[in-house]
Chains A and B, each alone.
Chain A
């Protein structure tokens, strides 16, 4: 089975964020990593390859720094990849990214399954996979918590509210967006890391793969949220703060 995994590089959310000109984040203090949800997609693809054979191709839109995390997926076991490195795409919205990923996947040929995370940790949009499926004219399922493949027959569990899952049957080719917890992503091994350095990574511009989509949304500005209800911060070292907190819980809030 030939599987494409769409992977995004995102900031570590525990980074210290600074906003520049109301427009973008200052990247100088940010550590980047694989979008957690996409990491599950890499693992799911590798498990299918181990079971049925085939190929796992990583497809990413992003700047130069994203190559590090494509190689990380290679070190986990992915075979090769396409890195669309194009400022026009990076400035585009989810529709532009989805359209570009679709063209990149089309250029691979004979892909039977596209896996990606349900959302990216940074933009939290959860729309790219669905738009991609629509452009491909393939069915999709979002928030997938379980996946069984039998030839082209797919049985998936779609996560719902309150611990419920819907069991869904569909046919490949399809796009599935995976929810966290579907598997336990592996860590790269040392031999894996060595091999990853030599794996094929095609760097493309949007024009190379015929991607021409234009954004359907405009970004206006970004800002830090203003909270209406900010916690009373209890100061002091751990022991002092803990003692004050226990005191407050007993005598002020009266909840213990």
Chain B
């Protein structure tokens, strides 16, 4: 039977949460297509593959010393070996840092179209139709491949994590991994500063709309201090050096879940939302009424943060 293949990822010997979401995605898509869900796991041995077998009935393990550390060349050759050995109709990859690095290369290797950064899939007339975010989340579009096979990447949270419980079968697929052209020299921590904003009950976070470092300090930092909380920022604030990297909230920064998260001048890109959507109460202040942040906020004020925040401070 044709297979829908989820690619499980791991870091430091630990399976990622996104991999469990992909197991769920593979099962749902396979079931709608009359295909069989499966997973492929690359590693130095089959220990992670055995772990993945708790979540999906069929697991292909590609074990090779060259696959101990992720490389796009290694992963592509290994995944191609599985696709060549099995009747694989679709390959499902996480839109993670690693996934972005190899998914399109896998698509090229197996001569498939790729639809990336998707949040939904449905099957219509045998074809899988994918929904994805465009224009910073303001518009969604539907796409499908016109090739025999497809490669898709799903954004974090597109599917719920599959629960453990099954006892799937692990079979090994051999691949000769050669000519790996990137060499990993190790992983380093880049967050300067000792502050841990993830423990704060109240976080006031600023975005691009704060304009400059002085204004960020005037509005965001001062409101945070008045509320006895921590200040933070979305990616542009850290890229511009208005505050230090340890205060970045989002996929590439910290994940936080305070009682109150105030997002001021933050549009609400998925990468930012991934780091704060678990907050109990979210306040969005933005002059753009269509900013996606209003879709996840509890309370919203459509207005100029430089007028709204000083007015809030007067009432506190």
Chain A residues close to B by CB (< 8 Å): 11, 13-14, 16-17, 19, 25, 93-95, 118, 121-127, 130-131, 133-135, 139-143, 145, 155, 157-171, 179-181, 215-225, 227, 229-234, 238-239, 241-243, 245-249, 253, 255-256
Contact status of A217 and B145, CB under 8 A, knowing A162-B254, A164-B187, A223-B140: yes
Residue of B nearest to A131 (CB): B104
**Cβ of A134 and Cβ of B115 under 8 Å apart?**
no
A-B contact pairs, 8 of them (CB 8 A): A121-B135, A124-B117, A126-B100, A130-B103, A168-B182, A180-B236, A245-B312, A248-B299
With contact pairs A13-B136, A224-B140, A231-B284 given, residues A245 and B299 touching in the complex (Cβ less than 8 Å): yes
Known: A122-B135, A159-B252, A224-B138. 9 other contacts (CB 8 A): A11-B135, A14-B288, A131-B104, A143-B97, A170-B181, A171-B181, A220-B144, A225-B292, A246-B312
Q: Given A163-B248, A164-B188, A170-B183, does the pair A253, B142 have CB atoms closer than 8 Å?
A: no
Are B134 and A141 in touch, CB under 8 angstroms? Answer: no
> Per a CB cutoff under 8 Å, which of A19, A166, A229 touches B184?
A166
Q: How distant is the Cα of A160 from the Cα of B185 in the complex, in angstroms?
A: 14
Please give the distance in Å from B229's CB to the nearest CB on chain A: 9
Q: Does B7 contact A (CB under 8 A)?
A: no
CA of A231 to CA of B183, assembled, Å: 47
Residues of chain B lying within 8 A (CB to CB) of residue A167: 184-188
Q: B115 to chain A: which residues have CB within 8 Å?
A: 217
Given A162-B253, A163-B189, A241-B303, verify A181-B315 contact (CB < 8 Å).
no
- CB pair B182 A234 closer than 8 Å: no
The answer to whether residues A220 and B182 also contact, given A126-B116, A233-B301, A255-B280 and a CB cut-off of 8 A, is: no
> Complex: how many Å from CA A123 to CA B298?
28
| B contact residues around A168 at 8 Å (CB) | 182-185
User: Which residues 247-294 of B sit at the A interface, judged by CB distance below 8 A?
Assistant: 248, 251-255, 259-260, 267, 280-284, 288, 290, 292, 294
Residues of B within 8 A of A143 (CB): 97, 100-101
How far apart sit A234 and B136, CA to CA, in the bound complex (Å)? 24
Query: Residue B299 contacts which of A145, A222, A225, A231 (CB distance < 8 angstroms)?
Result: A231
B116 CB contacts on chain A under 8 angstroms: 94, 125-127
By beta carbon, the residue of chain A nearest B114 is: A127
Pairwise interchain contact A217-B144, C-beta atoms closer than 8 A: yes
Nearest residue, chain A, Cβ from B241:
A184
Closest residue on chain B to residue A121 by CB atoms: B136
Contact B143 A238 (CB under 8 A): no
Most chain A C-beta atoms within 10 Å of own C-beta, residue among B73, B103, B146: B146
Report how far A93 CA is from B150 CA in the complex, Å: 14
State the CA gap A159–B146 with chains docked (Å).
32
Closest 10 CB pairs of A and B: A216-B113, A181-B239, A242-B311, A231-B300, A238-B307, A227-B295, A231-B297, A139-B181, A163-B191, A127-B104
A222 with B138, Cβ < 8 A, contacts A180-B236, A231-B298, A249-B260 known: no
Residues in chain A near residue B307, CB distance under 8 A:
238-239
A181 contacts B202, C-beta separation under 8 Å:
no
Question: What chain A residues lie within 8 Å of B304 (beta carbons)?
Answer: 238
Check B308 against A218 for contact (C-beta < 8 Å). Answer: no
Bound Cα distance A142, B153 (Å): 15
Q: Is the CB of A130 within 8 A of B97?
A: no
| Contact between chains at A219 and B308 (CB < 8 Å) | no
Find the A residue at minimum CB distance from B282.
A231
Q: Is A17 a contact partner of B252 (Cβ separation < 8 A)?
A: no
CB <8 Å contact, A217 and B73: no
0/1 string, B101-130, CB within 8 A of A gives 1: 111110111001111110000000000010
Given contacts A220-B142, A242-B311, contact A169 B185 (CB under 8 A): yes
User: With A159-B252, A220-B129, A242-B311 known to touch, is A13 a contact of B139 (CB < 8 Å)?
Assistant: no
What's the nearest-Cβ distance from chain B to residue A223, in Å? 6
CB distance from B20 to the nearest CB of A (A): 15
Counting CB contacts under 8 A, is B178 at the interface? no
Determine whether the beta carbon of A255 is less than 8 Å from that of B202.
yes
CA distance A159 to B142 in the complex (A): 29
Contact A160 B145 (CB under 8 A): no
B72 contacts partner chain A, Cβ-Cβ < 8 Å:
yes
Known A-B contacts A13-B267, A248-B299; A217 and B113 likewise in contact (beta carbons under 8 Å): yes
What is the bound-complex CA distance between A165 and B72, given in angstroms? Answer: 16
The answer on a CB contact under 8 Å between B141 and A221 is yes
Interface contact A215-B283, CB-CB below 8 Å: no
Instruction: Tell whether A19 pairs with B139 under 8 Å between CB atoms, given A125-B117, A220-B129.
Output: yes
Contact B301 A245 (CB under 8 A): yes
Shortest beta-carbon distance from B31 to chain A in Å: 22
